[in-house]
Amino acid sequence: MINKLRRRFRGRPSGWVFVLVACVCTRSLVAPVAAQEKPASIVVTKVIQREVQTGHRVVGTVKPIRTSTVGSAVDGRVADFLVEEGDAVKLGQPLAQLRTGTLEIELAAAQAELGVYKQELTEKKNGSRPEEIVAAKARMLAAAAVKSNTAAKFARAVTLFKKNAASDSDLSDAREQSESANQLYLVAEAQWKLATAGPRDEQVARALAQVALQRERVRLIEDRIEKYTVLAPFDGFVTREDTEVGEWIKRGDPIAEVIALSSVDVRANVPAEHAVRLQRGRSVRVEFSEQAGEVFTGIVSRIVPTANTGSRTFPVNIRLENRLVDGRPMLMAGMLARAVLPTGARTKLPLVPKDALVLQGAARFVCVIDVDREASNRGTIRMIPVKLGVADGGLVQIGAELRGGELVAVLGNERLKDGQRVEFTLQRPPASKGAQ
């Protein structure tokens, strides 16, 4: 470009000088802008150097924390199979539906009968209607009038009989009518008292018991209907289908297999000299070739104290938290795992928080900060490749590439580059469980 400008302004000294001055000014303006670019803000912590047990590598297999072969609680024909292999399911989600037509009819009849018993109970609790009480009283008063009239007639018949003015037959008829009227009055009086008092407590109690009995019959049928819907026993994934629509199954026949993968166990066979040095609750770092961009740490959840007689190794379970990525678990049953058990000799080595690791495929780096002499909160990034060892709580042991007290980035480090300028805030490293 300079040569083109020289040819253009040949023979014109003033023009050439102008171009040179413009170039120099432009360069002088750009340089300060670049120099004034603001450093990236990050959070750092100190490398811890202390004595830890070195690791022993073992190979294991991922196992689900729970596996359930879900069976049918009743005999029946499959009306609908609602899931497929690989589907994620939630606790209580229907897996299959059996036919329930006959039970639905029984339920409707039982509910109708329950309604009848409830109405009878309500009738007994409410007692007689005011109109029924009035009618009963009127019948009693009418019977009383008849009783009084027939009693008067009978008294007159007795008087006439004594005067020989009435026959035995007349006296007998008057007596019968009087007694009949008296009995009718007693009946009418009793009916009025019953209408006024309402139903007896025993009758109400019996009606209550009848309603309760019928309600339980309804619940029994509803419970039977619920058993015709096969439900997932926990959150997980369907790994096997054992039936199809239209198939007749018996009670206890398998419907589907469901596994839980919210957490997983890595089952490793550990030689005796290392198994005896393990303790439950110890942190363990686990690697997966399929997940090279992740660092996993778990804890020893179980040490089975019975050796395999062929290999003389002891089964050890390492519990890992799992997570979903695009609806699929990162760690799946059957995956090969390599665990680093803290069972070796004690050696003083550096440890850094898991967040300090920058993962680039199978390579692991940490961002070390070379602090400026003139500014204690600023420095330059130096990318250091590291090899990982045992885990200890939130810390991971690395090789001898770093020294205790050096500063490493733990927040914002995923976007840093070698030689980049940064300003930082210091935080305390996470608590460790210590060398045990």
Render pLDDT for 389-429 as a digit per residue (tens, 0 to 9): 888 878 998 876 788 889 999 999 888 999 999 999 998 87
Which residue spans within 272-335 are E strands per DSSP?
283-287, 296-303, 313-321, 324-325, 328-329
Percent of the chain with pLDDT over 90: 55
**288 and 168 both lie in a single domain:** no
6-10, 27-31, 52-56: least confident range: 27-31
For the chain, the first-to-last Cα distance in angstroms comes to: 69
Q: What tokens does 106 get?
A: 């029984």
- The reply to whether 116 falls in a domain is yes
Residue 65: predicted pLDDT: 95
- The reply to whether 13 falls in a domain is no
pTM of the model: 0.66
- The reply to whether 5 falls in a domain is no
85-99, 163-177, 224-238: least confident range: 163-177
Contact 358, 365 (CB under 8 A): yes
**338 and 416 both lie in a single domain:** yes
**359 and 239 both lie in a single domain:** no
Nearest Cα neighbor of 195 from 148, 140, 145, 147 is 140
- The reply to whether 241 falls in a domain is yes
- The reply to whether 399 falls in a domain is yes
**209 and 287 both lie in a single domain:** no
- The reply to whether 167 falls in a domain is yes
**282 and 249 both lie in a single domain:** no
**252 and 272 both lie in a single domain:** no
Whether pLDDT at 380 is above 60:
yes
Whether pLDDT at 207 is above 50:
yes
Give the Cβ contact number of residue 403 at 10 Å: 10
Alpha carbons 61 and 266: distance in angstroms, whole number: 5
8-17, 128-137, 304-313: least confident range: 8-17
| CATH code of the domain in which 279 resides | 2.40.30.170
| CATH code of the domain in which 81 resides | 2.40.50.100
Residue 293: predicted pLDDT: 80
When divided into structural domains, the chain yields a total of: 3
**286 and 372 both lie in a single domain:** yes
**422 and 349 both lie in a single domain:** yes
What does the pLDDT look like over 11-27, one tens digit per residue? 554 444 444 444 444 44
Nearest Cα neighbor of 298 from 315, 316, 273 is 316
**377 and 278 both lie in a single domain:** yes
**155 and 204 both lie in a single domain:** yes
**234 and 267 both lie in a single domain:** no
Residue 46: predicted pLDDT: 93
Whether pLDDT at 224 is above 60:
yes
What does the pLDDT look like over 226-238, one tens digit per residue? 999 999 999 999 9
Beta pairing, strands 328-329 & 388-392: unpaired
- The reply to whether 274 falls in a domain is yes
Domain that holds residue 212: 109-222
**297 and 246 both lie in a single domain:** no
Alpha carbons 122 and 210: distance in angstroms, whole number: 12
Residue 225: predicted pLDDT: 95
